[in-house]
Each structure stands twice: as structure tokens, then as C-alpha cells.
Amino acid sequence: MATRRQVIAIYRQLLREAEKIPAYNFRLFAGRKVRDTFRENKGISDFAVIDEKLAEARQSLEVIRRQAIIGHLYSTEKLVIEQPKKALRRSK
């Protein structure tokens, strides 16, 4: 039987691992998917279903970890929207 603490722990692990994905679009997609899936399933009260969903979340965690590793092996340049903002110069 899964406890609330276990569910929150796997949720946080999923979000942390999603942030490690180097590709911007995949990183945002993974984080959004995790949040949406947990919001969608927050009303489940049957412990058997919760255990099934928790097992699926653990599998997803492993997939995200593998994707992060693969992404670091084949890194690319950062997108323009990922670059840090430069200070704007004022013309006088």
C-alpha cells in the first residue's frame, strides 16, 4: 500500500529528473506530462489503483533517467530562449 509520502517522493523525483533532460522541448514536455498526470489521478482513492499508478510512475522515472543520459551523450547548442538574458544597454 502506497503512502502519501511515497507518492510525493516519486512526484518530486520525476520532476527533478525531467529538469535534467538537456533538450528544451523534451524537458518541458516531461515536466508538463508529470504534473498533468498527477493532477489527473489525484482523486483516486482505491489503494490497488494507487499502487498500479505508482508502479507506472516508477517505470516513467526510469524512462526519464535514460532519456536524460542519452540527451547528455548527444548534446546540442542551447536554443535562443534558453540563453541567459543580457543586460540591455541604454543609449544616450
Q: Where do the structural domains in the chain lie, given as residue ranges?
A: 4-81
Instruction: Read off the pLDDT of residues 8-61 as tens digits, 9 standing for 90 and up.
Output: 999 999 999 999 999 999 999 999 999 999 999 999 999 999 999 999 999 999
Q: How far apart are CA 52 and CA 54, in angstroms?
A: 5
C-alpha triplet 53, 58, 59: angle, nearest 5°: 95
The whole-number average pLDDT for the span 79-92 is 68
Burial class (CB in 10 A: 0-12, 13-18, 19+), 30: buried
Q: How far apart are CA 10 and CA 16, in angstroms?
A: 10
